[in-house]
Structure 1
Amino acid sequence: MHRKTLRWAAPAAIGLVFVLAGCTAADGSADAAEESPLSEYFSAFYGSDMSEEEQQAKFEKENKQREELVAQCMQDEGFEYIPAPSSMSFSSGTEWKPEDRDFVAQWGYGAVEYPEADEQTEPEQMTPDPNSDYVMALSESEQAAYYEALYGPTPSEEEMSEDGSYEYNWETAGCNGWASHEISGDDPLQSDEFADVMDAITKFYENSSSLPAIVDLDREWSACMDAAGYPGFATQADAQNSIFDELNEMYETMTEAGPDQATMDEIHEREVELALADLDCRKETDYRAKYDKAQFDAEEQFIADHKTELEAMKAAAEQARP
């Protein structure tokens, strides 16, 4: 039996949270993300101002409510459904320290090897689905009806994008979509009222790498990399991306046997060497501090230009949070 998996195109703003969370101070800490002028608004939008314990408690409470609603909905559709317990953890695990030389010397960019990789939950360790026996006892056509009731109909080819994602709509997402909407309500960030400022935020981050101060900084960093024997990288992000692009290309063409360990070890060795050169050039050019200043100055100007809309969005997000 194949369990249907849904994918959807996430709102652009969600990606911006990762941009902010990815900022690091010159010492590799997460202080820069906290100091980001726009982070005040995004913490309100997505609840990232809560501690891990508060996020965990909130998720577990909402998951319990959601699963009970799903069970009610599925019963109305003529199926049995046992609410499933939460299996998500908000623990941050090992601190990521991209500005620490010992850390980078071990993990590089975290492309091939990364902290706690061996501790990832194995399928047999995952919380079992309490509904699996019931579903397996259904006929093939009944299983199809069950999953359509639970998740909604499979999107048509016209609705699917090239990468397999599609625009999520809770109204066509079955009992799961209905239950989630009952818990969270409409997302104020996707309303027509804030469409213009959301587009402005997206464009702001898309264009941030072209800020004159950052362009000059990347040029200085690139010259340092050339001198270190790593030419061809126009921006600091290009170095890291080159390793992930290589891995993605390999995975796209590999056989079922997967990559051999010798190949992965060789890529990891090159990754670490490149990441260390990148780190040295960031230190030499004071990259993080200068980048953060340019980014934060631009954010301050963006806030000044869109203060009214941002405050309205923040108030709507805070009011919508359970």
Structure 2
Amino acid sequence: MQKTRAHSVAGAAALLLVLTGCTAASDGESAQQESPLGEYMAALWGGDLSEDEQAAMFEAQNLEREELMATCMKEQGFDYAPNVDTGASYSSGEEWQPDDREWVAQYGYGMVRWPGMDEQPDAEEVYEDPNQEYVASLTATEQTAFYEALYGPSVPEEELDENGSYEWNWETAGCYGWAQHEIDGDNPLTSEEFAPLMEEINQFYTDLDSASGMSEIDAEWAACMSEAGHAGFARQSEAMTSINDELNAYYENQTEWVEDDPALDELAEREIELALADLDCRESTDYRERRQEVVVALEEQFIADHQVELDAMKAAAEQRS
């Protein structure tokens, strides 16, 4: 029985962004830095496709999944209309400029405030669940049965990790899990064949901050942050994480929505202040460029150690596409 983390798909997507991320050039403009491992991961996600081609690919996969779910739900005795409008949007990410001073001065890390957050969708673009009316017509007991058939039963609290994650098993994830498994049947990203390699890749990046060569860079950055009045951070990643933790705590303590909450505005201002200091210290210590050199060297060594498995995974992905 194959099990994966509940957040594995999202985690892999984030991992690809790390692998193929941008770093700032000396003239302030973003310069694409090639990632040796990113070339392998891009093969799994259609990294050679245009933005429109990637959107079309994801939409086609969603349609296939939804149609399979409808078939499965019918066998369970429920009506289910394939939801072809997920409300998702696709972006090139050009509106995110975390290394641009003007952008950081407005958004910080882009957590409390972000580009486009106040834009209202067009009436024609408002998301509507095609199953909402049908589900509303069911009794409370029938609704519970509907969602259990669709997504599987709720995960018992004792099976949750400390951070709320859990081992996701498609066999207990209802019609959604079955449909996803059907689609993922020959997907190298989720196949059992390459699961050990994916685990090693994830672990590689998890351990990256503590890898040889990183401590000196982070120490210089931390000293700069202390001088700027932001002591207590040992690694650059901890600065943004601290804001994320505060934001999570804010929402966890909310019992009702408060519009224009001063507490949230205060957090946004602290985020901007911290992000600007972070940006200054990264620039004064050449943090991005030095870190990228270390990352590339470590990735090249990782590839040398796993060349056969990586080539096999890439070939399987290219054959599938």
- Report deviation, 1:13: 4.5
| Aligned-partner Cα distance in 2 for 1:214–1:110 | 25
Distance 2:254 2:69 in 1: 39
Please say which of residues 49-58 and 74-83 is displaced more in the overlay: 74-83
Q: How many pairs were matched up? A: 313
1:209 matched residue in structure 2: 209
C-alpha contact 1:9 1:165 (8 A) present in aligned 2: yes
Structure-1 residue corresponding to 2:90:
90
Is 1:49 the counterpart of 2:21 in the alignment?
no
Against the structure 1 CA distance between its residues 230 and 145, is the aligned structure 2 distance closer, same or farther, given a 3 Å change threshold?
closer
Is 2:285 the partner of 1:285?
yes
- Is the Cα–Cα contact under 8 Å of residues 94 and 115 in structure 1 kept in the other structure? no
Find out whether 1:69 has 2:68 as its counterpart.
Answer: yes
User: Residue type of the partner of 2:291?
Assistant: Y
Alpha-carbon distance in 2 for matches of 1:165, 1:126:
30
| Residue aligning to 1:174 | 174
Contact 1:211 1:294 in 2 (8 A): no
- 1:94–1:116: 8 Å Cα contact kept in structure 2? no
Residue aligned with 2:167, SS: coil
- Name the stretch that deviates more: 236-245 or 113-122: 113-122
- Identity fraction in percent: 55
Offset, 1:301: 1.1
1:23-172 to structure 2, matched below 5 A, reads: 23-26=22-25, 27=28, 29=30, 31-32=32-33, 35-86=34-85, 87-92=87-92, 94-119=94-119, 126-172=126-172
Give the C-alpha shift of residue 268 in structure 1. Answer: 2.3
Distance 1:164 1:121, change over 3 A: farther
Q: Which moved more, 1:154-163 or 1:79-88?
A: 154-163
**Equivalent position amino acid for 2:149 in 1:** A
Q: Judging changes above 3 Å, is the alpha-carbon distance between structure 1 residues 15 and 166 closer, same or farther for their aligned structure 2 residues?
A: same
CA shift for structure 1 position 37: 0.7
Structure 1 residue 216: deviation in Å?
Answer: 1.0
Distance in structure 2 (CA, Å) of the matches to 1:176 and 1:37? 34
The amino acid across from 1:231 in the alignment is A
| Structure-2 separation of matches of 1:102 and 1:254 | 31
CA displacement, residues 75-134 of structure 1 (integer Å, 9 cap, x when unaligned): 222222222222322123652112211111111111221111113769996322222222
Q: How far did 1:300 drift? A: 0.8
Give the secondary-structure state (helix, strand or coil) at the position aligned to 2:134: helix
Instruction: Name the stretch that deviates more: 73-82 or 179-188.
Output: 179-188
Return closer, same or farther for 1:320/1:157 CA change in 2, 3 Å cut-off: farther
TM-score w.r.t. length of structure 1 = 0.85
Question: Structure 2: 5+ residue runs without aligned partners?
Answer: none
2:62 and 2:246 map into 1 onto residues whose CA distance is 38
Q: Secondary structure in 2 aligned to 1:229?
A: coil
- CA distance 1:210–1:65, change in 2 (3 Å): closer
Q: Residues 173 and 283 of structure 1: is their aligned pair in 2 closer, same or farther, counting only changes over 3 Å?
A: same
Q: TM (normalized to structure 2)?
A: 0.85
Q: Following the alignment from structure 2 to structure 1, what is the Cα–Cα distance between the partners of residues 125 and 288? A: 40
Compute the RMSD of aligned alpha carbons: 2.8
1:55 deviates by: 1.3
Q: CA deviation at 1:9?
A: 4.0
Structure 1: segments with no counterpart, 5+ residues: 1-6
CA distance in 2, matches of 1:120, 1:298: 44
User: One-letter code of the match for 2:110?
Assistant: G
Match of 2:8, SS state, is coil
Alpha carbons of structure 1 residues 78 and 264: separation in structure 2 relative to 1, 3 Å? closer
- Asked if the contact 2:149–2:174 (Cα under 8 Å) also holds between the matched residues in 1, the reply is yes
